Structure 1
Amino acid sequence: MNLKSAVFNLNNLFVLLFVLSAFGLEDHLKRSAQNDYALGFILLLEVSFFIVLFLARKDEQRTLIMDTFAIISTSLFVWLMLTAKLNILPEDIFKAPGVIVKQFLGDYLRLIVDIGCSLSIIVIGFTLALSAAIPLGLFLAFNARTGRAFSSVASFLGSIPPVVFIPYTLALLPSFKACSIFIIFITSFWPILTSTMNGVLNVDSKIINSAKVLNLKKAQILFKIILPASLPQVFSGCNIAISLSFIMLTSAEMIGGGSGLGFYIQYYARFGNFTRIMVGLVVLGIVVSTVTYILRKIENRFFRWKE
């Protein structure tokens, strides 16, 4: 990538428009804009853009980075215009970008604790689901007849929304953390189990028959042939499971939690504090996007041949 492409692109255009609008146009008299905080954030975003752009190795990655940052900067510019400058969106509900940034800086210590609480529950529940679903899926689907029969049962049980279990877990389990871990376990278990079984059932029978001709033991066939061949579908199930887990955890924290991002949003929703609600939503989106990005990078690392 040349210097011209790095400088003259849609992202930088909207960053420039954002800066010029923030300080060149007057704020609406009835709104608090906090333009200094907005400027600091957009400049940090711009620095991050150049760092990530020059660290990318392929042209496809650079194009994706430019498109992604262009969407973000465009959204921020439109957000600024609709709130602080034109006052089209109601101020009581939709705050200006600078107001959100200022509130985040005021609450970041608490948000770090809440993020840690939410991620710890996700990690424990998701790990338990992985430990249970993958071996069970391999065992059930190793016998094709059993696998096809149980896949229907798994589809039925997996279609039950995990949120219906929240009242029962709150009544039966000793703490909210245990309830949340169980909900994440149930949420992650079925997608991983189903994807593992489908992965095993979709392994080419010719490969398995060739292994049998070579007198390989069942354990060798299962762990050296079937498991590696089914891993791409297992990862697909994991990606679905992690996204659903965050949705369910947020719902659970809103219902009965005492910490976590869901509780942060719900707590301030009771008082109509839309500034902190928006802060919580933005932070939640960033956390979920970061986790899914890390999983995708791990998947690409293991399965480079898929690219």
Structure 2
Amino acid sequence: MKKIVINAYWPQVVGAIAWLITGALTYLIPNADDFPRTTTFALACVSVAVLSALTLPLNKVRYYGAWILALAVFIGLWEVIQAKFLLLPRPFFGAPQELLDVFITDWLKLLDALVHSMMLLVGGYILGCIIGFSIGVGMGWSLRFGYWAHPILRFLGPLPPVAFLPLLFAVIPSSFIAGELLMAFAAAFPVAILTWSGIAGVNPGYYDVAKTMGAKPLFLIRHVAIPAALPFVFVGMFMALGSCFYMLVVAEMLGVKAGLGFYMQWAQGWAAYPNMYAALFIMAVMCTSFMTLLFKVRNRLLRWQKESIKW
């Protein structure tokens, strides 16, 4: 499916006007409570409006003109409903300027939490993909290896990784290493299953052609079986990344005393809900960035299947 081409300027123009109105409402109407950074937030809205107007000639920005308008309307309604009239219960719901205040005043803690979460996620995910890929290649290529590995995979693989959390945190002194092992377990199962399916489904004719040219088993694995199975491998890696996102939050909330999940639990304990929402926003950006990066790698390696899976 081709990308929609938008030539109309009006959504972005109206969006810029809507951001100006949001800034004016924020600054001119008195707050119903003592919300910090109100003036700063109003200036931020005006800055977005100016930026939207300056980028009007750019097609890439114009494509998101409707989203610029929709976000302005959403933020404006949120500001009026909560900051000006307090229609939502506090402290569970804050005003937009409270969220901005968290990013300004607590950015060092948020950055530290993000770094710890990324270290935990990347380490566990890569380890799990390596283990799952190795098991999948072995099961797809060797009947003897599959004979021993398949029952173990069927018995342990479907178990939720979180079930091993009390055991690992009790046995392993480092909660960070225990969390990485949990995510490695979460990632290994889907990668192993999909890699195995991909290797087992390779057309035998490919092997026959390579053998007639003198190819050895190692060559067949590296240059025939694995390349042909890569579409399945990447599907398993996408599933594994989603499982790791889930395990990251669980591990940080229940055992690892660092990261965005731990920060969210700390914020909830102190009823600092704007801090919790800020951490949730950063986590969403982190997760979608990793998923986007993985898709770019897939599209790079599998150019002939670039449009087969969308993100």
TM range (shorter): 0.7 to 0.9
How big is the shift at 1:269?
1.2
CA distance in 1, matches of 2:197, 2:241: 19
Q: Which runs of 5+ in 1 are unaligned?
A: none
Query: Which of these residues, 4, 7, 13, is aligned with residue 5 of structure 1?
Result: 7
CA distance in 2, matches of 1:228, 1:191: 18
How big is the shift at 1:103?
1.1
CA distance in 2, matches of 1:298, 1:73: 34
- The aligned residue for residue 39 of structure 2 is 36
TM-score by length of 2: 0.82
Answer yes or no: is 1:24 the counterpart of 2:29.
no
1:153-197 CA distance string (max 9 Å, x none): 535533211111111111000111111111111111112111211
- Compared CA separation, residues 278 and 17, structure 1 to 2 (3 A): same
Answer yes or no: is 1:294 the counterpart of 2:293.
yes
- Compared CA separation, residues 83 and 170, structure 1 to 2 (3 A): same
How big is the shift at 1:224?
0.3
TM-score by length of 1: 0.83
Preserved CA contact (<8 Å) 2:16 2:48:
no
Preserved CA contact (<8 Å) 2:267 2:276:
yes
Q: Which runs of 5+ in 2 are unaligned?
A: none
Higher mean displacement: 121-130 or 76-85: 76-85
Preserved CA contact (<8 Å) 2:140 2:199:
yes
CA distance in 2, matches of 1:220, 1:300: 24
Higher mean displacement: 214-223 or 161-170: 214-223
The residue type equivalent to 2:167 in the other structure is Y
CA distance in 1, matches of 2:157, 2:44: 42
Alignment RMSD: 3.3
How big is the shift at 1:70?
6.0
CA distance in 1, matches of 2:224, 2:87: 60
Higher mean displacement: 202-211 or 174-183: 202-211
- The aligned residue for residue 131 of structure 1 is 130
1:215-254 CA distance string (max 9 Å, x none): 3211111110111111122122212212221221111111
How big is the shift at 1:293?
1.4
- The aligned residue for residue 212 of structure 1 is 211
How big is the shift at 1:54?
4.7
Aligned residues: 298
How big is the shift at 1:15?
5.1
The residue type equivalent to 2:18 in the other structure is L
How big is the shift at 1:131?
2.3
State the percentage of identical aligned residues: 23
